[in-house]
Amino acid sequence: DKRRAAALATHGIGYADVGTSGGVWGLQNGYCMMAGGAPNDIARLTPALDTLGPPDGWLHTGAVGSGHFSKMIHNGIEYGMMQAYAEGFEILQASEYDYDLAKLSHLWNQGSVVRSWLLELAELAFKQDPKLEKIRGFVEDSGEGRWTVLEAIDKNIPAEVLTLSLMRRFRSRQEDTFTDRVLAA
């Protein structure tokens, strides 16, 4: 990104990157934008960013590339949060208690320390399909979780939860793996 920005600058063209979080629900629920670029380029974009985003919905994160880099790390964190919710709900579902997971999700979003938009999405899923029987346990990845793990490796940062969350996504795409057959043997 820095090379592109420098090349464009020689022609009088500014360059900025804006990582955006909010997904397909952003129009309804809002979204946030992480803007990387030179201060003068971001200043020129400020009216558009102010118009597009909700109040406090964007941040100048630093130099060119920092917007998408922070969005990449954001998605890695999201993988870890999703994995924690998934494991917790599996334990609840397998327990001796007959939990209404939609109601429990709703309750947890009323001031609990684990409240989040991801939990709201889980609540919605449980309302539509309480045992999630219509959902195949196949989870894609955007590539940003992979990049986050590679960055952690490059910087010698132990990111166990983020790495294992990515590996679980890979595992969700496999059936009757050789690994499982070796374990069974």
3-state secondary structure of 95: coil
Tokens of 45: 């974009």
Q: How far apart, in whole angstroms, are the C-alpha atoms of residue 39 and residue 63?
A: 8
Active site residue 131: no
The token pair that represents 102 in the structure block: 């939609």
Q: Is 63 helix (H, G, I), strand (E, B) or coil?
A: coil
Amino acid (one-letter) located at 99: Y
Count Cβ atoms below 10 Å from residue 135 Cβ, excluding itself: 10
Q: Is 78 a catalytic residue?
A: yes
CA 177 to CA 87: how far, in whole Å? 21
Which listed residue (2, 78, 96, 131) is catalytic?
Answer: 78
DSSP state of 53: S
Nearest Cα neighbor of 74 from 121, 35, 19, 114 is 19
Phi, psi of 61 (to 5 degrees): -90, -10
Which of 71, 134, 140, 144 is catalytic? The answer is 71
Active site amino acids: 71, 78
